[in-house]
Amino acid sequence: MKTKKLPERFCLGCQQSLPKKALVRIVRSPEGEFAVDVTGKMPGRGAYICPKADCLAKAQKSRGLERSFKGKVPQEVYEKLAEQVASLEADAAEAQS
């Protein structure tokens, strides 16, 4: 019996290959708008990051999102990502306790 291979993606912060479901997808739409894609199905160019504040900080410092999207990422996008990552971290901590 064959086991189904789980898709993996590369985190721009910690540089690790992890299961796609464990990562947060950031997408740039064809119109140039940035958003966090919780469904993983939004159209546009996507990049992945761990749902951890330190991974987001590393990705911002190394300009990982800029390289992935081949252009400037506005500061507001990083602020919005930081809020959403913080809420995901809080949810994960709550689930563990």
Per-residue pLDDT tens over the stretch 67-90: 999 988 888 888 888 888 888 778
The helix or strand, by DSSP H or E, that contains position 54, with its residue range, turns out to be: helix 53-61
Token pair of 63, please? 């300009």
Q: In this predicted model, what pLDDT tens digit does every residue of 59-71 receive, in sequence order?
A: 999 999 999 999 8
Fold for the domain defined by 8-96: Hypothetical Cytosolic Protein; Chain: A; (3.30.1230)
Q: What is the pTM of this model?
A: 0.84
The one-letter amino acid code at 46 reads: G
Domain ranges of the chain: 8-96
Query: Can you tell me the distance from the alpha carbon of 1 to that of 19, in angstroms, rounded to the nearest whole number?
Result: 22
